[in-house]
């Protein structure tokens, strides 16, 4: 039986081949979140592999991680998509406790074979063998004669012409439209499902039957200037041009009243890569920066991130090769000034009214939130979740921040970044939603 080590919890023997998410719940007795029931859709079952990360990844997991901009973050995996087939060491940080949810989610099935959702649900269905396909027909015209041809273009009737109209056409429009009855079509909604914007209008009649999409022109993303206090509702702008700029005094999206936005603040530009069009968000050297909402991010000295109502920076990061062992003393909140404390990094509150409060990170994994007793660093900020984020150092000595499930998330400043099909970013105090329908 493989050995599963959960950092800070214990070491367990787990059945070979068992889904990791279920092993965490059953063998390790951890309240691991798995909101979508193991279908690689919610990413709440994220874990961090300190050792023993499986080298292979299922397509569904790859897509889910990519949509959350987690693909490429070594060690970040979805526990519902991993089986216990080797010794593993994981760090668990997405738990029911502190998430504000009532339950961890429906139990994932015990094996992928029994999973009702196919592993690669978005895979294009393959065509049946040639001999089993129904004959394709093409309705066309040869002069005034209507022909029915096979898919290769050859006539199906004797002599190549099946039917000749008995009467000459009265108008080109009438002759060129075969008999048809226009369907007054309303798609059948998927029962019980609502989209993330609360509407079912755009849902296909069946989940695996997508609606028509253009294949030649690029898709049209929707940029939403979010209403205050919402991550869904706002003013929609459809991006039909190669670029859209945002600013206070100029550009395509002008936000005159937000003094924290620079005159020319940020730009979204489409680039056409080998895998199709993609959209890149670039900060135009704004004064207050452009931030994207992340589920995790690497932290370097210049990284500024927003949690709750405040901005923070990590100072005094040791070089990645630093091998110093963890200090077992607890992390503390201290009102200090000056450089990093000893060799420990310091989380600096950049809010002017906070007077530069510094929180010393004395261990390699520190939880942050506003619930006293639940986190290593407790910050009195109502916009923080009880357990809001974890800052930790990986085996290479690099520091990373991981957001837990919360309303207000973790936002990290960027110079330029490829936007995910659904993501959020912030310029000044204005938040935006970017979505490719």
Structure tokens at 305: 């991130």
User: What is the x/- site pattern for ligand FES, positions 265-284, by CB under 6 A?
Assistant: --------------------
Give whichever of 17 and 263 is closer to ligand FES, judged by the CB atom.
17
For residue 67, the surrounding DSSP H or E stretch is helix 59-67
- Closest separation in Å from C-beta 90 to ligand FES: 14
Instruction: Give the SS3 label for residue 218.
Output: coil
Q: How many residues bind ligand FES (CB under 6 A)?
A: 14
Distance between CA 394 and CA 146 in Å, rounded?
70
Answer yes or no whether residue 67 interacts with ligand FES by CB under 6 A. Answer: no
Give whichever of 42 and 261 is closer to ligand FES, judged by the CB atom.
42
Structure tokens at 21: 């998410």
- Contacts of ligand FES in 69-88 (CB under 6 A): 78, 80
Q: Which of 3, 41, 333, 363 binds ligand FES (CB under 6 A)?
A: 41
Closest CA to 231 of 197, 265, 254: 197
Closest CA to 337 of 354, 319, 320, 318: 354
- Closest separation in Å from C-beta 413 to ligand FES: 28
Give whichever of 106 and 210 is closer to ligand FES, judged by the CB atom.
106
Give whichever of 193 and 274 is closer to ligand FES, judged by the CB atom.
193
Distance between CA 18 and CA 15 in Å, rounded?
6
Give whichever of 34 and 293 is closer to ligand FES, judged by the CB atom.
34
Give the nearest residue (CB) to ligand FES: 80
For residue 23, the surrounding DSSP H or E stretch is helix 20-26
- Closest separation in Å from C-beta 256 to ligand FES: 41
Q: Which of 45, 84, 92, 412 binds ligand FES (CB under 6 A)?
A: 45
Structure tokens at 359: 């929180």
- Using CA atoms, how far residue 131 sits from 103, 128, 134, 136, in Å, is 50, 8, 8, 12
Closest CA to 26 of 76, 97, 79: 79
Structure tokens at 324: 């110093």
Pick the stretch among 28-36, 227-235, 376-384, 401-409 that binds ligand FES (CB under 6 A): 28-36
Residue with tokens 């226009």: 182
Structure tokens at 311: 């901005």
Q: Which of 43, 147, 224, 364 binds ligand FES (CB under 6 A)?
A: 43
Give whichever of 49 and 279 is closer to ligand FES, judged by the CB atom.
49
Distance between CA 75 and CA 92 in Å, rounded?
12
CA distance from start to end of the chain:
44
Answer yes or no whether residue 404 interacts with ligand FES by CB under 6 A. Answer: no
Give whichever of 117 and 237 is closer to ligand FES, judged by the CB atom.
117
- Closest separation in Å from C-beta 18 to ligand FES: 15
Give whichever of 64 and 368 is closer to ligand FES, judged by the CB atom.
64
The 3 state secondary structure assigned to 83-102 is: ECCCCEEEEECCECCCCCCC
Pick the stretch among 36-44, 230-238, 360-368, 407-415 that binds ligand FES (CB under 6 A): 36-44
Give whichever of 38 and 386 is closer to ligand FES, judged by the CB atom.
38
Burial of 334 per CB tally in 10 Å (0-12, 13-18, 19+): exposed
Answer yes or no whether residue 44 interacts with ligand FES by CB under 6 A. Answer: yes
Structure tokens at 188: 């059948």
Q: Which of 20, 23, 25, 35 binds ligand FES (CB under 6 A)?
A: 35
Residues that bind ligand FES (CB under 6 A): 34-36, 38-45, 64, 78, 80
């Amino acid at each position: 039986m493989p050995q599963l080590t959960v950092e800070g919890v214990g070491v367990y023997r787990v059945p070979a081949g068992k889904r990791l998410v279920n092993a965490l719940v059953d063998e390790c007795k951890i309240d691991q979140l798995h909101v979508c029931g193991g279908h690689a859709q919610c990413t709440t079952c994220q874990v961090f592999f300190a050792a023993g990360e499986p080298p292979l990844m299922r397509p569904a997991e790859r897509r889910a991680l990519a949509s959350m901009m987690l693909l490429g973050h070594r060690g970040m995996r979805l526990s519902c998509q991993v089986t216990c087939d080797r010794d593993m060491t994981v760090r668990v940080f997405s738990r029911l406790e502190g998430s504000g949810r009532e339950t961890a989610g429906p139990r994932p099935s015990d094996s992928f074979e029994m999973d009702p959702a196919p592993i690669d649900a978005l895979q294009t269905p393959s065509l049946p063998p040639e001999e089993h396909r129904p004959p394709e027909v093409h309705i066309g015209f040869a002069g005034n004669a209507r022909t029915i041809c096979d898919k290769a273009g050859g006539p199906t009737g004797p002599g190549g012409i099946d039917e000749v109209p008995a009467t000459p056409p009265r108008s080109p429009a009438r002759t060129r439209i075969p008999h048809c009855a226009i369907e007054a079509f309303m798609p059948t909604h998927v029962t019980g499902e609502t989209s993330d914007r609360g509407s079912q209008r755009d849902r296909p009649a069946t989940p695996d039957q997508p609606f028509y999409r253009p294949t030649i022109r690029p898709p049209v993303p929707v940029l939403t200037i979010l209403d205050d206090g919402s991550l869904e509702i706002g003013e929609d702008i459809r991006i039909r041009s190669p670029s859209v700029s945002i600013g206070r005094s100029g550009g395509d999206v002008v936000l005159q009243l937000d003094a924290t936005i620079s005159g020319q603040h940020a730009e979204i530009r489409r680039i056409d890569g080998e895998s199709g069009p993609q959209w890149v968000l670039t900060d135009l050297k704004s004064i207050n920066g452009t931030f994207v909402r992340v589920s995790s991010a690497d932290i370097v000295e210049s990284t500024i991130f927003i949690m709750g109502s405040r901005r923070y920076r990590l100072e005094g990061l040791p070089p990645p090769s630093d091998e110093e062992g963890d200090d077992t003393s607890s992390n503390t909140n201290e009102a200090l000034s000056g450089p990093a404390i000893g060799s420990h990094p310091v989380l600096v509150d950049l809010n002017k009214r906070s007077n530069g409060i510094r929180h010393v990170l004395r261990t390699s994994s520190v939880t942050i939130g506003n619930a006293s007793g639940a986190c290593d660093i407790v910050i009195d900020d109502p916009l923080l979740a009880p357990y809001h984020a974890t800052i930790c150092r990986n085996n290479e000595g690099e520091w990373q921040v991981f957001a837990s499930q919360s309303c207000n998330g973790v936002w990290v400043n960027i110079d330029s970044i490829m936007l995910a099909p659904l993501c959020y970013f912030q310029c000044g105090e204005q938040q935006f939603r970017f979505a490719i329908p």
